[in-house]
Amino acid sequence: MFERKIINDPVFGFINIPKGLLYDIVRHPLLQRLNRIKQLGLSSVVYPGAQHTRFQHSLGAFHLMSEAIQHLTSKGNFIFDSEAEAVQAAILMHDIGHGPFSHVLEDTIVQGVSHEDISLLLMERINKEMNGQLTLAIQIFKDEYPKSFLHQLVSGQLDMDRMDYLRRDSFYTGVTEGNIGSARIIKMLDVKEDHLVVESKGIYSIENFLTARRLMYWQVYLHKTSVAYEKMLISTLLRAKELANQGVELFASPALRFFLYNDINKETFYANPECLENFIQLDDNDIWTALKVWSTHSDKVLSTLSLGMINRNIFKVEISTEPICEKRKKELTLQISQQLDIPLSEASYFVSTPSIEKNMYDPADDSIDILYKDGSIKNIAEASDMLNISLLSKKVKKYYLCYQRLHR
């Protein structure tokens, strides 16, 4: 009898995990670690419901992958059982290299190592433990397998990662406009010349998907309050790192301490096995615990920032379509240095001017192709009668000015 585990998911209902390789991956400590990392990082500062984890997202993406394989094979696309299992394993592990608050760490305590790089290192480690059972999954993940449509299902414009996170993030934030018809899009998928295509009757679902994605980006992922909160955390960690470099004693879990008191770049990360060992011990709890303790630290910059993080006293934000003027930035830094009674150099931790550029559809990246009844194929930008598609491929750039609120 074919055994399986059933998990109840609030977004998709029951998810079946077959016993064997896939169940072993789900149970693996490295995947279980994702239970302690929130999918949306600091977004719960705006959407209190956004408490779901990267583990839940990985299971959801796995569920959608199982559906996609079923629909593609029912249309006569031949997928071996071994390929199906490998692509399911690849999507289960696609986020395994995420650290707490993902991109925050990539900019602060680990320089130049992306979560994709780390995911690959961890997949290779699990593959060793499992005597090579994941070799095919890794080939698909790296797009080194002859059937490249399998890689597109893991990482592409219409991959199962996106299908899940848009549905899930819209569900948990309550931003209903972000809810995409993932089931319909998956039913409409087909393969033509080793490339994923969408049947022409699915075109409106794709338009809805692209519009929903744009809305989720600007309304949730890049919400100005979340951006400001993230900048505060980056400033806090950079200050902690600077103090650690000066030999100041800081409270930190052993794993966080390793990254604060050592300078880690890409070269070191790959050369020193301790880096990965410490990285997999990190989760959201390490950061929050440190912030709680730092909030009473004698260093004014560290304690003010940490306390702000803990008590939700967030940087003020202004958004502009033009770059932030240097004069304004200098004035704010001066005011903050006077108000907090700290040197100008330290006041710069309280002012941040990120710019964010995003387009929702880049045909050069990996086009979304529509398949017509006569066998012809058109890019979504040509096939759609919505003006929005050409607008969606236009890059939107926003400039943010985030700074410590001044008390009059």
Please report the pLDDT score of residue 366 as a whole number: 63
Residue 374, C-beta contacts closer than 8 angstroms, at least 6 positions apart: none
Summarised one tens digit per residue, pLDDT across range 211-238 is 899 899 989 999 999 999 999 999 999 9
Please report the pLDDT score of residue 380 as a whole number: 86
Summarised one tens digit per residue, pLDDT across range 66-84 is 999 999 999 999 999 999 9
Summarised one tens digit per residue, pLDDT across range 174-212 is 999 889 899 999 999 999 999 999 999 999 999 899 889
Judge contact between 31 and 122, C-beta under 8 A: no
pLDDT > 80? residue 371: yes
Least confidently predicted of 57-61, 287-291, 342-346, 393-397? 393-397
Place of tokens 């779901």: 52
Domains of the chain, CATH where assigned: 4-220 (1.10.3210.10), 224-266+280-357 (1.20.1250.30)
| DSSP-based helix, strand, coil % in the chain, nearest 5 | 55, 10, 30
Prediction pTM value: 0.95
Residue 385, C-beta contacts closer than 8 angstroms, at least 6 positions apart: none
Please report the pLDDT score of residue 391 as a whole number: 67
DSSP 111-128: -S--HHHHHHHHHHHHHH
- Distance in angstroms (rounded) separating the CA atoms of residues 24 and 159: 23
Beta bridge partners of 318: 401
Residue 290, C-beta contacts closer than 8 angstroms, at least 6 positions apart: 240, 250, 251, 252, 253, 256, 306
- Distance in angstroms (rounded) separating the CA atoms of residues 106 and 111: 6
Please report the pLDDT score of residue 360 as a whole number: 64
Please report the pLDDT score of residue 385 as a whole number: 78
- Distance in angstroms (rounded) separating the CA atoms of residues 346 and 204: 52
Question: Within 13 A of 165's CA, how many CA atoms are on the CB side?
Answer: 21
C-alpha pair distances (Å), 350 with each of 333, 345, 353: 7, 10, 10
